[in-house]
A and B are shown apart, each in its own frame.
Chain A
C-alpha cells in the first residue's frame, strides 16, 4: 500500500468540500484508513468476470402527479424549522 495516492492533504480537501472540520490527527488517521479501504477494492478487481444480466434501459414513468407529503411530514425529521421552512445555519 506504499504507493497509495491518498495523503492527509487530500483528505483535508475533500473534508473541506463536504464542510467537515477535521483535525490534523484525524486527517492522518483517515488517510491511512482510506488507503486500507482502497486496497479492499483492489482485491475486488481480482474477482473474475461473471455473466451479467442484460442492462436495463429506458426505465421511465408517465408524467402523472402523485400525492406529496404534507408540510408537517416533510419537516418531521428537521432539527429546526420556521414558518414551514427547514432552518439551518447561514451559508455563503
Chain B
C-alpha cells in the first residue's frame, strides 16, 4: 500500500447552472428581454443603476422559478428574500448584483436522469433568482491584453435562476446527461429558450478523492469532501462543453496527484477553442462580497404558489403514458418524448392516423433523417403540416411507405419542396392495377428463361420476376401484390 504508485482516484463534481428564464421583461424593470443588434437599447434607470431608481420584482420570473421548484420536487419556503452581492466590475452598473443568499426560492430538490441505461438521481441544494449582468467586449486583445472595454447593458437584469446541485456527480458524462435532462424539463415547463445565446451557463466545482472513500451508494463523507482541494471551472456554455471541460479538469487533477503534487484551490477558465482549463487570477473570497439585505425589495411569501400554479406533464410522466397509451417500446417512447415539440407533434399525428404509423414516422423516419442532416425538429417547425401531409399520403395508400421515406421525405428536407409536388414530379403515385397487370404480363413475356426456371421449381425465379415488375412500375407497386399476380399469371 505504501509503495503503491498508481492510486485509485475518484472524481467529485457539483454544478451551478445559470438559466435565463423566459419572460417578456427583465426581473426588476419593464425593459424587454429580447435580444437586440443595437447595444444599450433595452435599458432604463433601473437596469442602468441610475441614482434613485427602484427595482420592482417581475411576477413572471417568480412564477417561472416556482414552476422549476415544483418540477424538481423542491421546497418553496414560507419566506424568501433578496440580497445585494457587492463586487466592482463594469458588467454590473450598480456595483452590486441583486441575488438571493440565505433564503433562496427553492431548496432541497432532486432530478432523476438516465446515463448509460442507469437511472441516477442528483440532489439540488437550492435554486435562487438573480439578475444577469451586462455583456463586455474587450477591445484590442484578449481579456489581459485589451486596450479598453465596451459595455452593453441590454442583457443586464434578465432574470436568471441559479440551480446549485449537491456534489453528486462522479463523472463528466453524468454531468452531460444531467444537463440534457434539466434542459428538457425547463423546456417542457416553457420557462427556457435553448436557442437563445447564453441561455444556459455552467460553473462546476471539481475535486479528486481516493476511490476508497466512495461508498457503494456513491456517498462520500463531508469531511473528506471538505479536505479535498477543488477547482471552480467557469465559462462552460453547453452540455458537450461541460463534458469536455470536466473530463479535462478531472484528468489534470489526477495527473497532479499521481505525480505527488497538490491541487491548488482556485478558479479556472474553460478555454473552449484550446480545449483546456487555465488558472484565473484569484477572485474575491465569499466574505468580500459583503452580502446584505436588499432593502428596496420586500420579502416574498409565495409557498402557496406551488399549489396554485400548474405545470405541464413532465418528460418522465409523458414517456410512461406513451408506453401504455400507444403501446410503444421503451426506445420509441424515449425518442418521442425527447423534446416537448417532438412529443406534441407525435400526439398530433397519432390523433389522426394509426399510432404505430405515427410512431414510425416521427421517431424513426423524421428524427432519423433530421439527425442524419445534423438538424433538429426546431429546424422544421414551420413545416410540420407538410410532414403530417406526407404521413397522410402513406396512410391513405396514395404512395408507398418506401417511396415516402426514401424519396419524398429526403427531398423535402434537402430541397424544401412540399410532399404533393415531389410525389407528382417523381411519379410516385401508386400505380393503378391495370398498369401493374400489364407490367406483370410484359415481364413474363420478356423473360422466358425465368418462367421456365419457375416451373422447374427454382425458388429464386419468382423474386427475379418481381424485381422486373418493380422496375417497370418505378417501385410504386406493392411487392406482395406483384408476387401474387405473377403466381396467378404463371399457373
**B90 within 8 Å of A by Cβ?**
yes
**A43 within 8 Å of B by Cβ?**
no
Chain A residues contacting B40 (CB-CB under 8 Å) are: 71, 74-75, 84-86
Do A61 and B38 touch (CB < 8 A)?
no
* Whole-angstrom CA separation of A66 from B57 in the bound complex: 14
Chain A window 35-65, contacts with chain B (Cβ cutoff 8 Å), 1 for yes, 0 for no = 0000000000000000000011111111111
Chain B window 18-43, contacts with chain A (Cβ cutoff 8 Å), 1 for yes, 0 for no = 00000111000111100000111111
Chain B residues contacting A69 (CB-CB under 8 Å) are: 43-45, 48
Which residues of chain A from 65 to 82 have a CB within 8 Å of any chain B CB? 65-66, 68-71, 74-75, 77, 82
Do A85 and B56 touch (CB < 8 A)?
no
Known A-B contacts A63-B58, A74-B48; the reply to A57 vs B149 at CB < 8 A is no
CB distance from A39 to the nearest CB of B (A): 20
Do A17 and B32 touch (CB < 8 A)?
no
> Which one of B140-148, B164-172, B248-256 is at the A interface?
B140-148
Do B58 and A59 touch (CB < 8 A)?
no
Which residues of chain A from 11 to 27 have a CB within 8 Å of any chain B CB? 13, 17-19
Interface centre among B41, B61, B90 (most CB of A within 10 A): B41
Contact of A57 among B39, B48, B301 (CB under 8 A): B301
Contact of A71 among B41, B89, B137, B143 (CB under 8 A): B41
Do B148 and A90 touch (CB < 8 A)?
yes
Known A-B contacts A69-B44, A71-B40; the reply to A64 vs B89 at CB < 8 A is no
Contact of B42 among A13, A68, A91 (CB under 8 A): A68
Known A-B contacts A55-B299, A57-B298; the reply to A91 vs B38 at CB < 8 A is no
Do A60 and B59 touch (CB < 8 A)?
yes
* Whole-angstrom CA separation of A61 from B57 in the bound complex: 6
> Which one of B150-158, B238-246, B464-472 is at the A interface?
B150-158
**A2 within 8 Å of B by Cβ?**
no
Do A17 and B299 touch (CB < 8 A)?
no
Interface SS of chain B: helix, strand, loop or mixed?
Answer: loop
Chain A residues contacting B32 (CB-CB under 8 Å) are: 65, 68
Do B149 and A90 touch (CB < 8 A)?
yes
* Whole-angstrom CA separation of A58 from B59 in the bound complex: 9
Do A58 and B300 touch (CB < 8 A)?
yes
**In the complex, residue of chain A having the shortest beta-carbon distance to the beta carbon of B284:** A17
CB distance from A46 to the nearest CB of B (A): 22
Known A-B contacts A60-B59, A65-B24; the reply to A91 vs B90 at CB < 8 A is yes
**A3 within 8 Å of B by Cβ?**
no
CB distance from B325 to the nearest CB of A (A): 35
* Whole-angstrom CA separation of A63 from B149 in the bound complex: 32
Do A85 and B39 touch (CB < 8 A)?
yes
Contact of B151 among A13, A62, A86 (CB under 8 A): A86
Do B149 and A89 touch (CB < 8 A)?
yes
Known A-B contacts A61-B59, A65-B32; the reply to A74 vs B153 at CB < 8 A is yes
Known A-B contacts A86-B150, A87-B150, A90-B147; the reply to A61 vs B138 at CB < 8 A is no
Do B62 and A87 touch (CB < 8 A)?
no
Contact of B30 among A17, A64, A74 (CB under 8 A): A64
Do A57 and B300 touch (CB < 8 A)?
yes
Do A66 and B136 touch (CB < 8 A)?
no
Known A-B contacts A58-B298, A59-B298, A63-B59; the reply to A71 vs B38 at CB < 8 A is yes
* Whole-angstrom CA separation of A71 from B45 in the bound complex: 12
Do A61 and B151 touch (CB < 8 A)?
no
* Whole-angstrom CA separation of A88 from B150 in the bound complex: 6
CB distance from A2 to the nearest CB of B (A): 25
Contact of A59 among B38, B42, B137, B297 (CB under 8 A): B297
* Whole-angstrom CA separation of A92 from B269 in the bound complex: 13
Do B152 and A85 touch (CB < 8 A)?
yes
* Whole-angstrom CA separation of A55 from B297 in the bound complex: 11
Do B88 and A66 touch (CB < 8 A)?
no
Tell me the B residues contacting A by CB distance below 8 Å: 23-25, 29-32, 38-45, 48, 50, 56-62, 79, 86-90, 95, 136-138, 143-144, 146-153, 281, 284, 288, 297-302
27 A-B pairs, CB-CB below 8 angstroms?
A: A17-B284, A55-B299, A56-B298, A57-B301, A58-B301, A59-B57, A59-B297, A59-B298, A60-B58, A61-B58, A62-B60, A63-B58, A64-B24, A65-B25, A65-B30, A66-B31, A69-B43, A75-B40, A86-B150, A87-B148, A87-B150, A88-B148, A88-B149, A89-B148, A91-B138, A91-B149, A92-B144
Not counting A64-B25, A71-B40, A88-B149, a sample of 9 additional A-B residue pairs whose C-beta atoms are within 8 angstroms of each other reads: A18-B95, A57-B79, A59-B56, A61-B30, A63-B60, A69-B44, A86-B151, A87-B148, A91-B136
